[in-house]
Amino acid sequence: MTNERNCVLANGCKAAGTSACNRQCSHFIALHGASGNGGRSAAAGLPREYRLTTLANSPARAGQPAVYKSVENYVKTFERQFEQTEGYIEPADRIKSLYLYSANSGTGKTTTAAALLNEWLRVHYSGSLRRGLTPSLRPAYFLDVNEWQTEFNLATMTNDEDGLTEFKRKMTLAMAAPFAVLDDVGVRDCTPAFRGYLHAIVNARVTNQLPTIYTSNIAIERLPDVFGEQRLTDRIRDLCRVIEFEGESKRGLRR
C-alpha cells in the first residue's frame, strides 16, 4: 500500500502512488514527520483532525459547491507568494485575505480554512524546492481564537506565568507567519486586554500584507459590536473578501 492518502503533497507529486510513496519519503517526513504527526503540519498548529484535509478530500466540499469553486480559484494565487516575498508584485495582485462566514456553526468553515492552510503548505514546499530555495519550517500558522482566549482568561485568573508565556508565543507566531488562519474570530465578547492582543495580530498581518483566513459566525459588519470598536473590523476588511457558507450544521453527520 502506498502513502499518498497520508500526505498533503500527493496532489502534483510524481511519486504519489508509486513504490517510492511511503513513510520513508524525505518529503513526507518534512511535511508530516516520521510518525505522521509532526513536521511542518504540526508546526503550523493544525489540530490533528485537519492535518490531511485538502480541498479535494474536504468533507465540506459536497455541501458548499459555490464556496469550493471560489476557494479553488483563490489557491491559484498562492504561487504569487514567491513573487510577493521578492517584493516586485503589483499591489493589486497581492494575495488577498478571506473572511469565511456563516450564521450557523458546523457548515464547514474551519474545515475549509484548514484545507486552505494545507494547500499553502503544499505550494510553499513544492514551489521552494523547484526554485532551489529551502522551505520555511513554519510557512503557515493556525490559531483557534476561541481556545486562545480561554487560555488567556485562565492564565490571567490564576496568575499563571507559564500560561501567559505560551499565550504570547502563539500571538508572535500568528503575527509573523506568511499565511495564517484565525479561526472563530468574534465568537464571544472579549475584554479590552484580550482585544488589544488580537488587534496586534490583525494589525501586524495587514501592515505586512500577509494573507489571512478568518472564520466566524459573526457577519463582518457586526464585528464592531463584538470588539467594541470599529478599527479592528476595518483592519480585517482591508484587502479581504467575504465568502458566505450556506445551510445548517453538518456536525454529527459524519460516517
Which pLDDT score is estimated for 5?
A: 92
Does any domain span residue 240? yes
Same domain, 129 and 5: no
Same domain, 130 and 12: no
Helices (H), 55-210: 65-75, 80-86, 109-130, 145-158, 161-176, 192-207
Same domain, 61 and 124: yes
Which pLDDT score is estimated for 89?
A: 62
Which pLDDT score is estimated for 250?
A: 62
Does any domain span residue 227? yes
Residue labelled with grid coordinates 513504490: 19
Residue type for position 114: A
Same domain, 53 and 102: yes
Same domain, 181 and 62: yes
Compute the distance between CA of residue 108 and CA of residue 183 in angstroms, rounded to an integer: 12
Q: What tens digit of pLDDT does each residue of 65-108 get? A: 999 999 999 999 999 998 865 555 666 678 999 999 998 888 99
Does any domain span residue 156? yes
Same domain, 94 and 186: yes
What percent of the chain lies above the pLDDT cut of 70? 93
Compute the distance between CA of residue 31 and CA of residue 28 in angstroms, rounded to an integer: 5
Does any domain span residue 250? no
Q: How far is CA 205 from CA 19, 68, 157, in A?
A: 42, 25, 29
The number of folded domains in the chain is 2
How many residues are given for the chain?
Answer: 255
Whether the per-residue pLDDT at 203 is higher than 70: the answer is: yes
> Which range marks the domain in which residue 60 is found?
48-244
Q: State the CATH number of the domain containing residue 95.
A: 3.40.50.300
Residue 229's pLDDT band (boundaries 50, 70, 90)? confident
Does any domain span residue 255? no
Same domain, 88 and 188: yes
Which pLDDT score is estimated for 173?
A: 98
Which pLDDT score is estimated for 201?
A: 94
Residue 19's pLDDT band (boundaries 50, 70, 90)? very high
Q: What is the pTM of this model?
A: 0.93
Same domain, 179 and 129: yes
Does any domain span residue 145? yes
Estimate the crossing angle of helix 192-207 against helix 161-176, to 10 degrees: 30
Same domain, 21 and 128: no
Q: Say how many C-beta atoms besides its own lie within 10 A of residue 196's C-beta.
A: 11
Same domain, 6 and 76: no
Q: Of 26, 71, 78, 73, nearest to 53 (Cα)? A: 71
What percent of the chain lies above the pLDDT cut of 90? 73
Does any domain span residue 165? yes
Same domain, 163 and 108: yes
Same domain, 96 and 14: no
